[in-house]
Each structure stands twice: as C-alpha cells, then as structure tokens.
Structure 1
Amino acid sequence: MITGYLFLLVAILSETAAAAMLKVSDGFKRWQPGVLVVIGYALAFYMMSLTLTSIPLSLSYATWSGAGTVLTTIIGVLWFQEKLNRRAMLGILCLVAGVVLINLS
C-alpha cells in the first residue's frame, strides 16, 4: 500500500510539473518545455497505472486530480503571478477538504 502512495505522489508531482511546462511552452512554440510536457504526462499516467494496482480508482483519481489542481494553482500564483480571489481560495479549501474526506473513508 505504501508503494501505491509513492507511485501516486510521483504521478501528482510529474503531472503538476507537466502542467507548468505546458504554460511555459507557449502553445508548444518552444520545443524544450514541450518535450518536458510530454515526458511529465507520460510519467504521470504510467505512475497512475501502477498506483491502481494497490489503491482503488476512486481514491487514486480524487487524490491525483485534487492535489494536482491545488499544486498547479500554487505554481500559478508563485511562478506566473496569477491572482486568487476569496472565491478561488474557498474552492481550493473545498478541494483539500474533499480529498481528505475521501482518503479517510
């Protein structure tokens, strides 16, 4: 089970990095970040497939998508100077609460 969570962590981090590189690639006009997008998403999906051998799909996907969304938002704010309003922050809190509740069930 612990291995499944390690695979899930790698899937989340590689998907988040790939999403950030997608922004940097400027619509794939820059090839270096574009290559990192493809590698990041390929690794994310491979790690997710390994995760599913020990963690149920509903738990895995909720955690992957929720954590990925939160991390991508943090990267957007810190790296790309995107702004969050109160409604967006409430949405992030709801995502975190949802993922925690699903993991506790």
Structure 2
Amino acid sequence: MKPTLFHYGALGAAIICELIGTTLLQKSEQFTRFAPTLFMILFFAGSFFFLSHALKAIPIGVAYAVWAGAGIVLTAVIGVTVFRQTLDVAAIAGIAMIVGGVVMVNAFSNSAMH
C-alpha cells in the first residue's frame, strides 16, 4: 500500500501527541500532579494510536525514525523555550545528526516508499 496524505497526517498527529505527552511528563513532577499525569497518559496513548495508523502504509523503520527524530528535536526546542533548559555544543551536534538521518531516509531511501 502506498502512503497517502492520511498516513503522513497520522504520523504528524502521533508526533504532536508525543510532544505534548513528553511536555506533560515534565509538568507531572514525577507523577505527583494528577492532571498533567492523566493527560500525559492520554496523549501518549493517542500517539501510539496515530502511529499504528501510519504503520498501515509507512514501513515501521521509517515511521519510527521520523516519529522519534521529530520528537527528539521538538522536545529539545520545548526544553529550551518553555523550561529554559540549555543545550551544549555536543547536544546540538547530536540533534543535528538526528535531523540529517531523518532527512537522508526520507530523501534518498527507497524504504520510505515515496
């Protein structure tokens, strides 16, 4: 089955849910705050739900690489902007390599089924 806009949309929704869930994980303060903990669980469940729909047409390795890579990059951005955390040069270089890997898979790999 060829990936469609629906499958990539599901992957995008999975990434957004994962990003919100991870942000709420920080806000849950080690599961001591009920509301952020509850919503974190719901958003992580939603992330896996949408990821499962993306996997109907996108190979698992490609979908997971995009999901995890985007999650790492966007979570780092949230960490810096929302939680005022800092990234050193090694962290930025590592994140840049992750972005490069995701771009490489999507642009040049036949596994991505474009």
TM-score (structure 1 length as normaliser): 0.98
Equivalent AA in structure 2 for residue 43 of structure 1: G
Q: Identify which of 66, 82, 98 aligns with 1:79.
A: 82
Are 1:36 and 2:39 matched, yes or no?
yes
Equivalent AA in structure 1 for residue 18 of structure 2: E
> Which residue does the alignment assign to 1:18?
21
Equivalent AA in structure 2 for residue 36 of structure 1: F
In angstroms, what is the RMSD of aligned CA positions? 0.6
Larger radius of gyration: 2
The residue matched to 1:15 in structure 2 has which SS?
Answer: helix
- How far residue 33 of structure 1 moved from its aligned partner, in angstroms, is 0.4
Are 1:64 and 2:42 matched, yes or no?
no
Are 1:27 and 2:30 matched, yes or no?
yes
Give ranges in structure 2 of 5+ residues lacking alignment.
110-114
In 2, Cα distance between equivalents of 1:25 and 1:79: 15
- How far residue 73 of structure 1 moved from its aligned partner, in angstroms, is 0.5
> Would you identify which runs of 4 or more consecutive aligned residues in structure 1 move more than 4 Å?
none
In 1, Cα distance between equivalents of 2:61 and 2:82: 31
Paired residue total: 105
- How far residue 2 of structure 1 moved from its aligned partner, in angstroms, is 1.2
